[in-house]
Each structure stands twice: as C-alpha cells, then as structure tokens.
Amino acid sequence: MVDLDALEMQALFSRAAWLKEARQRGHAPQTLQGRVLGMIFEKASTRTRVSFEVGMLQLGGQALFLSSKDIQLGRGETISDSAMVLSRFLDGLLLRTYSHENIEIMAKFASVPVINGLSDTFHPCQILADIFTYIEKRGSIQGRRVAWIGDGNNMANTWIQAAVKARFHLVLACPEHYDPDPAVLMAAQQALGNDSEASIQLVRDPRAAAEQADLLTTDTWISMGQEKEQHQRLQAFQGYQVDQSLMSLAHPDVLFMHCLPAHRGEEVSAEVLDGPQSVIWDEAENRLHVQKAVLEWLLSPCPF
C-alpha cells in the first residue's frame, strides 16, 4: 500500500472499472500475453490464489501456483536465492507468507516486481479491492468514516495505511492487547498531520467506532498462524461482534465488508454478513478486477 501514491491508486481503480466492464461485455484484452506470474503460498488461500490465477489467464498470461511445501524454499533454500533464480524465469512474483520481512527480502533480491499476497502484517491487495468496492457503490471514500471492529491484524494495519492514501476517517475498535502495529499507526498519523478529511483513531468501544460509520468492516479473530491462541482470542474478543445493534448505530447508508473467510456467530452475525447492507460477494469479485489492473501495471510491457 505504501508503494502506491494517490494518483496511481486512482489510475488503478479507473483501469479496474474498465476491465470489469470489458469482461461484462465479453471483451478480454490480451495485455499480458506471454507473461508468467509465479505465486508462492506458505499459507492457505481461496480468493487470492484463484483471482490472481484467473486474472493472469484472462489477460492472456499464465500463473504458476508454487506451494512452499513443494519447492526448495520449504526445505530451507533462502528467500534471496529463490528470488534471484525465479526472477530469471518469471515476469512477476507473488508471495503469501508469515513474516513481512520475507516479502521485503524477496523484493530486495528479485529483479521482477513482487506482490504481497498477504503477510502477518499487511494485506494490500484486499484493501485495494475494498476501497474500489466502496467507491463503486458510493462514489467516493474521501472524507468518509470507516470503522474497523476487532483484531488489529494485517487487515487493520493496511486500512491504516490506506487512510493516508485515500484520505478517509478511520476509527479502529480493538480490545486491549490486540491493537494494530504501533509503528504503522504512528507513521500514518504523522503522514496525515492535520488533514480535515482524514484521521486515524484507536478506541476500545466498538459502539464509539460504529457511530455514524459509512463503512463497517471486520475480520476473523483468529488469523492464519494463530490457531493455537484460539481459546484466549475467543475470550478476548467477546463484545466485538458486528451485529445488527452495532450496524444500527452507523449511517443509514452504511456498507458492511469482510475480506472472507468469515465466521458467522464470531466476528460477525449471520444476519449482518448475509444481510442487505453487506457487499461481501461484490467485494470478493472485485479482487479479480482490481488485481488485473495491478498485474497490468506491474507486468505489462506498456502499462496503462
């Protein structure tokens, strides 16, 4: 997210809207013919894997799914060596990993663009699709009020960075000990300064965050890699479920988003997730359109 400036983000969204409309008309521009994306997954994925793979195919290129279990990376070959070798074969790399440092090492040693397909700290491709979805439904996100309820995880950290780029008011309600990354928060607050259309606030009370929100969003209480903490996390997040009573505090036009996979009855009630204010299926679909724009931007010999 930090690698994109505001104008680049706007250009990506315009291109994503065009690609979405083109697909609806049955038009498939072959802008990535002959290009190959390598996708290394150290964690499970449905949306990220399928949307990138399908996106590459629709644009005339190809994607290689590389489970870290099946390549030498999983047996201890270093990320730097893997990055240098794979750069000789591929036009781009995507990595889904645990430590964010792994993405930074890959980006440092690869000679092709590296896409963060989710780390423990950030999930930029998802947040781009979320902001695109909000703009598609409501026109603009600038100056709007976004409420994050629950864990200060990779999604929360990326929403914080996005508030700086897309300029909206972000209120995060997280229980004690589950705050977002303090360095990410401080850097974003410093970057914003006294912007009247954007701010970032951390609160404990989900109701305070939900009040007059234009967008309410949450994520699992137990992210990938935290399975051993399940019991203590389920306790810690009691009172942080996004349910209809929380939604009723928001602006009447509020949208609900969730990156998925969701856990009905934990971070969100079934009534909200499957209810009329929820846009989760469009949000998931938009991963494809936005990522196709990202892929063209990074991999095309003549990007838009």
Residues forming contacts to ligand CP in the complex (CB under 6 A) are: 45-48, 118, 126, 259-260
Indicate the residue whose CB is closest to ligand CP.
48
25 is a catalytic site residue: no
Question: Do residues 200 and 189 make contact, with C-beta atoms less than 8 angstroms apart?
Answer: yes
Both tokens of 156, joined, read: 């929360």
Out of 259, 280, 294, 295, point to the residue binding ligand NVA (CB under 6 A): 259
| Closest to ligand CP by CB, 250 or 257 | 257
Would you call 217 helix, strand, or coil by DSSP? strand
15 is a catalytic site residue: no
Select the binding partner of residue 199 from ligand CP, ligand NVA, none (C-beta < 5 to 8 A, by kind).
none
Segment contacting ligand NVA by CB under 6 A, of 99-107, 149-157, 204-212, 277-285: 149-157
Query: Residue 94: which H helix or E strand, with range?
Result: strand 92-96
259 is a catalytic site residue: yes
Q: Cβ neighbours of residue 67 under 8 Å, at least 6 residues apart?
A: 40, 41, 74
Q: Is the C-alpha dihedral spanning 83, 86, 92, 97 positive or negative?
A: negative
**Nearest-angstrom CA–CA distance, 211 and 248:** 9
Out of 220, 278, 286, 291, point to the residue binding ligand NVA (CB under 6 A): 220
Question: Do residues 155 and 131 make contact, with C-beta atoms less than 8 angstroms apart?
Answer: no
Evaluate the omega torsion of the peptide bond into residue 261 and state whether it is cis, within 30 degrees of 0. Answer: yes
Segment contacting ligand NVA by CB under 6 A, of 10-18, 52-60, 88-96, 153-161: 153-161
Both tokens of 176, joined, read: 């004690």
**Binding string, 104-123, against ligand NVA, x = CB under 6 A?**
--------------x----x
Select the binding partner of residue 153 from ligand NVA, ligand CP, none (C-beta < 5 to 8 A, by kind).
ligand NVA
Both tokens of 56, joined, read: 């590459």
CB atoms within 10 A of CB 137: 13
User: What's the one-letter identity of residue 22?
Assistant: A
Out of 58, 82, 116, 223, point to the residue binding ligand NVA (CB under 6 A): 223
From 91, 259, 289, 291, the catalytic residue: 259
Select the binding partner of residue 218 from ligand NVA, ligand CP, none (C-beta < 5 to 8 A, by kind).
none
Q: How far is the CB of 117 from ligand NVA (least distance, A)?
A: 10
**Nearest-angstrom CA–CA distance, 258 and 278:** 9
Question: Do residues 123 and 155 make contact, with C-beta atoms less than 8 angstroms apart?
Answer: yes
Out of 19, 125, 155, 210, point to the residue binding ligand NVA (CB under 6 A): 155
**Residue 154 binds ligand NVA, judged by CB under 6 A:** yes
Give me the residues that bind ligand NVA (CB under 6 A), please. Answer: 118, 123, 153-155, 219-220, 223-224, 259
Which residues are tagged catalytic? 96, 123, 126, 219, 259, 287
